[in-house]
């Protein structure tokens, strides 16, 4: 299939990490690529915006592998100008009233046992806790990883250790990596995420904000393609089981359509009648990751330290448990000071919520309650924070849905659970000739945006080879 892509008319729907990444990769192969974005800005869940001298992200992001992972691999392949700053030092976990600083060298036994002790892992459970990390770091064959894909992370951890504080630590890692709980998580997927994080030692953030990633990819794509904004696709046109093009105002013909809008949404755009019944049943049964609310703070002083924090409230304290939320706090301006005016901070805070509720009013109410708790938690952790607020923004699951163009407000896309991970995950190729998926819903593995980039690389290799 050498040269298969040269001259092929390809439409990519959406400029998320997967869509922008695969667009640049296919332009490199000589394809005639048109990228259609429903919004007036690129990136979807990886977008960033300007406000009063601050640059803030639509989501709450940090990257497990940075330039050493699939995001960096795409940049190298297409010659994109993209710079990541490593922020491995000083990641704090605050859990159940105990605090610990995560070592940059998670492969060092002494450092990790000190960390476990800081968090309150019982002395008799230290060996089991470290044994779990040792097992995570042990290289696994594809066959072994496939078996682990079908095992619950909670069940797998219990083979090594049973400890309340260690369980909270694993829950925190799972929430940050996969945006679901450990009972639902695939052990294989979690091990893949954590082991690459440990090995690469490249916890990072892109200079310029998260939008720097899709912008860099799209700039590379424009050398041989075109990007149109405010161009929503209303229909993917299929005739006799084959792609004909899309409707985006007018009809646009193409040989290939690649959708970055999610598998469920893509089926609706292409028409359910064009898919086999067994495929529709699979799609309908797919589960989503959790959603999230966020509170974004623009501060006139450097109030939040350290610069990456995970806080889990002390649930034994009934007053605190009802007042606070489990939150993830990255400070992007610590990695890139240009995101805030001199001496100021941009701080992003997220907490997980259900991705979809039948009643939108009930969903909005739940999001408001959790956002109130997020703000309470920030005031408890940083008592002076309100005095330094220039502006703050609260966003719920509806905000995520509107930016991404999806019906629901899930953070990642499909949940990385044991029923739809690895070989059980939907493939990039859909059962319509010329129709493909890209992004976190298909063909990729890893942490959030890095999984979307991995999907782009998988699809590029499939079409190229």
Query: Is 143 among the domain residues?
Result: yes
Shared domain for 419 and 276, answered yes or no, is: yes
| Tens digit of pLDDT at every position of the chain (465 positions) | 446 788 899 999 999 999 999 999 999 999 999 999 999 999 999 999 999 999 999 999 999 999 999 999 999 999 999 999 988 677 999 998 899 999 989 999 999 999 999 999 999 999 999 999 999 999 999 999 999 999 999 999 999 999 999 999 999 999 999 999 999 999 999 999 999 999 999 899 999 999 999 999 999 998 889 999 999 999 999 999 999 999 999 999 999 999 999 999 999 999 999 999 999 999 999 999 999 999 999 999 999 999 999 999 877 666 666 789 999 999 999 999 999 999 999 999 999 998 765 566 777 788 999 999 999 999 999 999 999 999 999 999 989 989 988 888 899 999 999 999 999 999 999 999 999 999 999 999 999 999 999 999 999 999 998
Q: List the domain range (segments joined by +) for residue 238.
A: 9-46+207-287+414-464
Return the CATH number at 125: 1.10.405
Query: Is 70 among the domain residues?
Result: no
Shared domain for 396 and 447, answered yes or no, is: no
List the one residue out of 167, 208, 206, 199 whose CA is nearest residue 67: 206
Query: Is 195 among the domain residues?
Result: yes
DSSP string, 142-178: HHHHHHHHTSBHHHHHTTT---HHHHHHHHHHHHHHH
Query: Is 95 among the domain residues?
Result: no
Shared domain for 111 and 187, answered yes or no, is: yes
End-to-end CA distance of the chain: 6
Query: Is 227 among the domain residues?
Result: yes
Shared domain for 393 and 449, answered yes or no, is: no
Shared domain for 366 and 426, answered yes or no, is: no
Residue 353's region, left for phi above 0, alpha for psi from -120 to 50, else beta, is beta
What's CA 251's distance to the chain center, in Å?
Answer: 32
Contacts of 447 (CB under 8 A, 6+ apart): 63, 64, 65, 177, 178, 193, 197
Shared domain for 399 and 309, answered yes or no, is: yes
Return the CATH number at 268: 3.50.50.60
What pLDDT does residue 1 have?
A: 46
DSSP symbol at 141: -
Q: What are the angstrom distances between the C-alpha of 388 and each of 228, 310, 327, 337?
A: 40, 22, 20, 17
Token pair listed for 320: 């605190």
CB atoms within 10 A of CB 150: 16
- Parallel, antiparallel, or unpaired: how do β-strands 308-312 and 327-330 relate? antiparallel
**What domain count does the chain have?**
3
CB atoms within 10 A of CB 52: 8
Shared domain for 299 and 349, answered yes or no, is: yes
Query: Looking at the DSSP assignment, which residues form a beta bridge with residue 102?
Result: 91
Examine the fold and report which residue of 183, 201, 219 is the final residue of a domain before the chain moves on. Answer: 201
Examine the fold and report which residue of 385, 404, 423 is the final residue of a domain before the chain moves on. Answer: 404
Shared domain for 176 and 115, answered yes or no, is: yes
Examine the fold and report which residue of 201, 228, 254 is the final residue of a domain before the chain moves on. Answer: 201
Shared domain for 282 and 423, answered yes or no, is: yes
Rg of the chain over Cα atoms, rounded to whole angstroms, equals 22
Q: Any idea what the Cα angle at residue 51 is, between residues 47 and 53, rounded to 5°?
A: 115
Contacts of 322 (CB under 8 A, 6+ apart): none
Token pair listed for 308: 């990456």
Token pair listed for 109: 């036994």
List the one residue out of 460, 418, 419 whose CA is nearest residue 443: 460
CB atoms within 10 A of CB 49: 15
Shared domain for 305 and 400, answered yes or no, is: yes
């Amino acid at each position: 299939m050498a040269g298969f892509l040269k001259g092929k008319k390809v439409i990519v729907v959406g400029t998320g990490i997967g869509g922008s990444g695969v667009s640049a990769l296919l332009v490199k192969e000589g394809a005639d690529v048109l990228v259609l974005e429903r919004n007036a800005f690129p990136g979807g869940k990886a977008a960033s915006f300007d406000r009063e001298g601050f640059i803030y992200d639509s989501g709450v992001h940090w990257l497990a592998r940075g330039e050493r992972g699939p995001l960096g691999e795409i940049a190298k392949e297409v010659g994109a100008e993209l710079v990541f700053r490593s922020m491995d030092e000083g990641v704090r976990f605050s859990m159940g009233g105990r605090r610990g600083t995560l070592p940059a060298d998670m492969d060092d036994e002494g450092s990790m046992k000190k960390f476990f002790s800081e968090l309150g892992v019982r002395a008799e459970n230290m060996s089991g806790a470290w044994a779990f990390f040792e097992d995570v770091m042990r290289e696994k064959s594809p066959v072994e990883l496939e078996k682990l894909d079908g095992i619950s992370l909670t069940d797998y951890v219990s083979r090594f250790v049973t400890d309340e504080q260690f369980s909270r630590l694993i829950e925190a890692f799972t929430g940050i990596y996969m945006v679901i709980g450990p009972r639902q998580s695939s052990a294989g997927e979690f091990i893949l995420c954590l082991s690459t994080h440990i090995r690469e030692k490249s916890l990072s953030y892109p200079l310029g904000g998260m939008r720097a990633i899709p912008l860099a990819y799209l700039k590379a794509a424009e050398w041989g393609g075109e990007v149109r904004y405010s161009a929503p696709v209303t229909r993917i046109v299929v005739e006799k089981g084959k792609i004909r093009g899309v409707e985006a105002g007018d009809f646009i013909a193409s040989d290939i359509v690649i959708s970055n809008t999610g598998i469920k949404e893509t089926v609706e755009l292409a028409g359910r009648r064009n898919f086999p019944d067994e495929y529709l049943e699979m799609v309908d049964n797919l589960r989503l990751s959790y959603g999230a609310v966020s509170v974004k703070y623009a501060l006139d002083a450097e109030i939040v330290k350290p610069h990456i924090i995970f806080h889990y409230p002390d649930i034994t304290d009934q007053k605190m448990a009802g007042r606070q939320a489990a939150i993830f706090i990255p400070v992007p301006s610590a990695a890139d000071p240009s995101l805030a005016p001199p001496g100021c901070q941009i701080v992003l805070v997220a907490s997980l919520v259900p991705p979809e509720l039948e009643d939108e009013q009930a969903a909005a109410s739940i999001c408001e309650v959790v956002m109130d708790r997020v703000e309470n938690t920030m005031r408890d952790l940083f008592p002076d924070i309100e005095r330094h607020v220039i502006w703050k923004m609260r966003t719920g699951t509806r905000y995520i849905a509107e930016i991404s163009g999806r019906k629901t407000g899930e953070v990642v896309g499909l949940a990385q659970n044991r029923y739809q991970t690895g070989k059980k995950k939907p493939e990039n190729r859909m059962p319509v000739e010329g129709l493909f998926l890209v992004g976190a819903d298909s063909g990729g593995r890893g942490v959030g945006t890095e999984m979307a980039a991995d999907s782009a690389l998988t699809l590029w290799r499939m079409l190229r080879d």
